[in-house]
């Protein structure tokens, strides 16, 4: 970790392991150790170790906190007191004592930053009558969500979505229902039960998960993401031939078969948007474009499907912040 400290954080980061330890035990004159840098940076460091062939057996790295017994007496009790849930989680699920052994860890999906395009005031989407808020909506977070923003997202914009959805419902009558379309979709959802054989939906889901983790993960390149788009097309063809045995009631295999369409759609959208944004910003890090591009700070990347079902990409200019709001922010410091 000491070999890869971003320039932005060098003045805030310890020079030695000893200084890092002093920070951990409360020395106000010491700076934090590099393993306590932002989680996106730590995640990238883990991925680089794995890609360089130095990863753990399951594709992660080992995190060792048991070493503090070299520094303090009663280290095991100290760890249990500071990290009770982590201690019990590893003990119960993996039969591993983190006060004695290193734990195997790896980065995982934390939050989707982006989503359905909505109006900032009403949370209305471009689909008439559809309102969205929270993680599924393209909200205020941009490329990097701050801790705790998920809750404020729901409280502020969830309230707006609910209020304006209610107004819309009062001002508009019920929509018309195309019964033929309903029947066609209902029939399609049951097809996995009617085949005599086919693809296991869990296998397709796992293949998609592994491919996205490897090719469109935390550290990205255009070459790998183009490869992922080719793989997604293959998985789309496979997902059209899923087979689910058993009863329709409480059948998780059927649920997975139905989920595949949405999983593939979101995966394709993420890959295409990441290819279009030729820079690194927040959660988007590209080895082939490691720096921020100021021009991309002025646009959002928007995707929608055309009449033939193909995804179309557009750059949508971000409007200037109103002068009144700028003044309020400046006054708040």
The CATH number covering residue 210 comes to 1.20.58.100
pLDDT at res. 127 = 92
Q: At what angle do helices 84-94 and 75-82 cross, to 10 degrees?
A: 100
Residue 101 and residue 131 share a domain: no
CA 60 from chain center: how many Å?
17
Contact (Cβ atoms closer than 8 angstroms) between residue 189 and residue 233: no
Burial of 323 (0-12, 13-18, 19+ CB in 10 A): exposed
**The predicted structure's pLDDT at residue 175:** 83
Residue among 39, 54, 237, 277 flagged as catalytic: 39
Q: Domain count for the chain, please give it.
A: 3
Return the closest-CA partner of residue 126 out of 297, 265, 302.
302
Supply the pLDDT for residue 332.
84
Q: Is residue 309 part of a domain?
A: no
Are 312 and 303 within 8 A, CB to CB? Answer: yes
> Do 53 and 97 have their domain in common?
yes
Residue 49, domain member (yes or no): yes
The per-residue pLDDT for 149 is 82
Residues with Cβ within 8 Å of residue 169, at least 6 apart in sequence: none
pLDDT in tens, the chain (333 residues): 899 898 889 999 999 999 999 999 999 999 999 999 988 889 999 998 998 999 999 989 999 999 999 999 999 999 999 999 999 999 999 999 999 999 999 988 778 888 899 998 999 999 999 999 988 888 777 788 877 788 888 889 999 999 999 999 999 988 889 999 999 999 999 999 999 899 999 999 999 999 999 999 999 999 999 999 999 999 999 999 999 999 999 999 999 999 999 999 999 999 999 999 999 998 899 999 999 999 998 999 999 999 999 999 999 998 888 888 888 888 887
Active site residue 39: yes
| Position 332 in a domain | no
Is residue 265 within 8 A of residue 304, CB to CB? The reply is: no
Q: Which residues pair with 314 in a beta bridge?
A: 302
Q: Which domain holds residue 155?
A: 111-173
Instruction: Name the DSSP class of 284.
Output: B
Residues 197, 276 within the same domain: yes
Domain match, 35 and 55 both: yes
154's enclosing H/E stretch is: none
Boundary of a domain, candidates 105, 122, 141: 105
Give the pairing type, strands 311-317 and 299-305: antiparallel
Residue among 289, 257, 262 at smallest CA distance from 275: 289
What integer pLDDT is reported at residue 105 of this predicted model? Answer: 93
Closest CA to 272 of 321, 330, 315: 315
- Are 101 and 17 within one domain? yes
Q: What is the pTM of this model?
A: 0.86
In DSSP terms, which residues pair with 220 in a beta bridge? Answer: 286
């Amino acid at each position: 970790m000491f070999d890869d400290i971003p320039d932005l954080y060098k003045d805030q980061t310890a020079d030695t392991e000893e200084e890092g330890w002093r920070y951990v035990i409360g020395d106000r004159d010491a700076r934090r150790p590099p393993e306590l840098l932002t989680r996106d940076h730590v995640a990238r460091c883990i991925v680089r170790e794995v890609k360089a062939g130095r990863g753990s057996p399951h594709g992660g790295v080992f995190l060792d906190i048991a070493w503090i017994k070299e520094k303090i007496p009663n280290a095991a009790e100290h760890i249990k007191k500071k990290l009770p849930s982590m201690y019990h989680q590893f003990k119960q699920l993996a039969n591993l004592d983190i006060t004695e052994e290193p734990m195997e860890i790896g980065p995982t999906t934390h939050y989707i930053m982006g989503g359905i395009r909505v109006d900032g005031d009403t949370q209305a989407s471009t689909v008439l009558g559809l309102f969205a808020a929270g993680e599924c909506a393209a909200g205020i977070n941009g490329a990097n969500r701050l801790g705790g923003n998920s809750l404020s997202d729901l409280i502020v914009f969830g309230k707006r979505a609910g209020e304006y959805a209610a107004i819309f419902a009062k001002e508009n009558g019920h929509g018309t229902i195309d019964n033929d379309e309903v029947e066609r979709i209902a029939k399609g959802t049951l097809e996995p039960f009617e085949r005599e054989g086919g693809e296991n939906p869990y296998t397709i889901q796992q293949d998609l998960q592994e491919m996205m983790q490897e090719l469109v993960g935390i550290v990205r390149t255009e070459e790998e993401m183009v490869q992922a788009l080719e793989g997604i097309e293959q998985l789309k063809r496979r997902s059209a031939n899923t087979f689910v045995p058993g009863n329709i009631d409480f059948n998780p295999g059927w649920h997975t078969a139905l989920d595949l369409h949405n999983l593939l759609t979101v995966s394709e959208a993420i890959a295409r948007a990441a290819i279009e944004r030729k820079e690194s910003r927040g959660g988007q890090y590209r080895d082939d474009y490691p720096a921020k591009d100021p021009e991309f700070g002025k646009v959002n990347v928007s995707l929608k499907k055309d009449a033939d079902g193909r995804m179309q990409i557009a750059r949508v200019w971000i409007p200037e912040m109103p002068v009144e709001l700028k003044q309020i922010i400046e006054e708040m410091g």
